[in-house]
Amino acid sequence: MQLYGEYDVVVVGGGTSGVAAAIASARAGANTLLIERVGVLGGQMNYSGPPGFSYAHFFNLLGEQIIGGIMQETHTRLLNEGHALPHIRPEFRGSYTFSYVDPDWWGLMIFEMMTENGVNLLLHSLAVDVLKEGDAVKGIIVENTSGRQVILGKVVIDCTGEGDICVRAGAPYNKLPREELQPHTLSFTADGVDWDKALNYIKENPDEFSFERFLNNPFLKWTKEQLIERIKNIKDITEMGEIMGYYSLRDAAMAKGEWHEFSGVGFFLIPREGGVIQAHFQHSSQVPNCDPTDVRDLTYGEIECRRQIVIAWKFIRKYMPGFENAYITRVCPELRIRESGRVVGDYILTTKDVLESRKFKDVIGKSAFPAGGHHIATTDTLTSGQGEGGYPRDGGSHDIPYRCLVTKNVENLLVAGKAISTDRDAYHRFLQQTMVTGQAAGVAAALCAKKGITPRQLEKDVSELQKILVKQGAILYGTH
């Protein structure tokens, strides 16, 4: 086996958490390696996605901006180059604000940022094992076209999304049984939509869409009539942000076997150069009973989702007003994994923390996303998010504490992205959350490498970490 190299910080996984971690680590002065399984960086944004909310949720219900850092920096950069839409903040949507970027240009920009920041890359490489000395991770073993190699690092960040490195290193990990996991999805993008016609149908048939859920926002003191009136005044599809519904069309088609039973009908938007808006379907296939850490399930999921999207697309073109001449321009190559397990860290972020907009001394970022509200593989698409979940009660946002990124039982290891330590309803799987925790983990790892301490030892005093994050544009203080 060959020694590939020795680094201060080794980031495993080049998805949204990994790219943020690598940039932040390199900026904080660490010699950084980013390892990615495929040839492209970006994961759920531009490879297996984007998810609908990309970007989104920069603001809380009160309208305060709670996410900055690499998210805001990249949004601004793409906006300046004509590859993004400005922050879209319809008042009736509460914290469902949208800050759409062109995923393909986002991917190209991320490569530019790796070069600009001097991040070392190792692409086309699958991490298959960890090297440990006692409880401490010392390196990662990868397989690729050149064979098997070992990479040594002072601190390793698990950005695999599924906590693969943590599990292989022996960190505790919670995963729901297969049948309770959220379904995964394969998305596709379509062009050639007649937006005037599509928008007209939506405005003329508001009851066919899921607008009433906006009234769940306790800070929006509107009647249903006011909401409908506002929707009827929408001039441009981008004000809509996203659409979910077409109930009658869907149910009629389902009765004829022209829609499948695994998801509802709806779409998000993708901005392209020169003001073109494409429709992005990422709820039109959902595969249940699929554990992404089991390769047989993962294989089955890839097959099943493609079966569903072919049915879905035929429906869309045949029945959805405005989509008669639309055409698919891109099918994602791989499933976007909504849920696997969560690593157990030194703190487990709880649903109560979210509901109470809890602030922590070791804050490394914020989130305003409601707790609960998971996907289910039925035409409802989502569970209601009621019960334990819901919005932060004061309309604010909660802090994400550093300790959620520090795995129990294992040293020299941080976790970022959707596998960080939370309870199930506080699951931090959303793109903006993964980039916030990625950026924080990158800075923390760089600091640990510089000081010669472990991520757990850093818990005693995170002030330098916070100072660097703030300098990198992150928002840590001053919001509800």
Partner 1 sequence: MELFGIYDVVVVGGGTEGVSAAIASARAGASTLLIERLGALGGQMNVQGPPGFAYAHMFNPRGEQVIAGIVEETHNRLLKDGHALPHLKPQWRAGYTFSYVDPDWWGLLMFEMMQENHVNLLLHSLAVDVVKEGNTVRGVIVENTSGRQLVMGKVFIDCTGEGDLSVMAGVPYEKRALEQLMRPSIAFTVDGVDWDVVLKYIKDNPKEFEFRTHPYLKMSDEEMWKQIKAIKKIEEIGNIPDGWFSITEKGVKNGEMHEFGTIGCFLTPREGGVIQAHFQHSAHVPNCDGTDVRDLTYGEVESRRQAVMAWKFIKKSIPGFEKAYITRVTPELRVRETRRIMCDYKMTEEDIAAARKFKDVIGKDEYQAGGQHMKHSTMLDPKAIYAKDGGSTDIPYRCMVPLNVEGMLVAGKPICTDESTIKRFIVSTMVTGQAAGVAAAVCAKKGVTPRQLEKDVSEVQDILQKQGAILYGTH
Binding region for partner 1 (CB under 8 A): 38-40, 46-48, 102, 104-105, 107-108, 111-112, 114-115, 121-126, 128, 143-146, 148-149, 162, 164, 188-189, 191-192, 272-274, 276, 278, 292-296, 298-299, 302-303, 306-307, 309-310, 317, 325-331, 333-335
Query: Smaller CB distance to partner 1: residue 256 or 296?
Result: 296
For residue 126, give the 3-state DSSP assignment. strand
Question: Beta 265-272 vs 276-281: how paired, if at all?
Answer: antiparallel
77: enclosing H helix or E strand: helix 69-80
What's the closest the beta carbon of residue 329 comes to partner 1, in angstroms? 4
Sign of CA dihedral 352, 356, 360, 366: positive
What's the closest the beta carbon of residue 283 comes to partner 1, in angstroms? 18
Query: Smaller CB distance to partner 1: residue 299 or 384?
Result: 299
| C-alpha span between 47 and 13 (Å, rounded) | 13
Question: Beta 32-35 vs 2-12: how paired, if at all?
Answer: parallel
Query: Smaller CB distance to partner 1: residue 46 or 282?
Result: 46
What's the closest the beta carbon of residue 402 comes to partner 1, in angstroms? 28
What's the closest the beta carbon of residue 122 comes to partner 1, in angstroms? 6
| Total residue length of the chain | 480
What's the closest the beta carbon of residue 183 comes to partner 1, in angstroms? 15
Tokens in use for 49? 């996605």
Query: Smaller CB distance to partner 1: residue 73 or 297?
Result: 297
Query: Smaller CB distance to partner 1: residue 42 or 68?
Result: 42
| C-alpha span between 259 and 292 (Å, rounded) | 25
Task: Report how far apart the first and last C-alpha atoms of the chain are (Å, whole number).
Answer: 52
Query: Smaller CB distance to partner 1: residue 38 or 453?
Result: 38
What's the closest the beta carbon of residue 285 comes to partner 1, in angstroms? 11
Tokens in use for 411? 């040293």
Token pair 């499933």 in the structure block, residue = 335
Query: Smaller CB distance to partner 1: residue 76 or 299?
Result: 299
What's the closest the beta carbon of residue 87 comes to partner 1, in angstroms? 22
The residue ranges of DSSP E strands in 89-135, in sequence order, are: 120-122, 126-133
- For residue 37, the Cα-to-chain-centroid distance in whole angstroms is 18
Which of 224-241 are b and which e, b meaning 16 or more Cβ less than 10 Å from the residue's Cβ? eeebbebbeeeeebbbbb
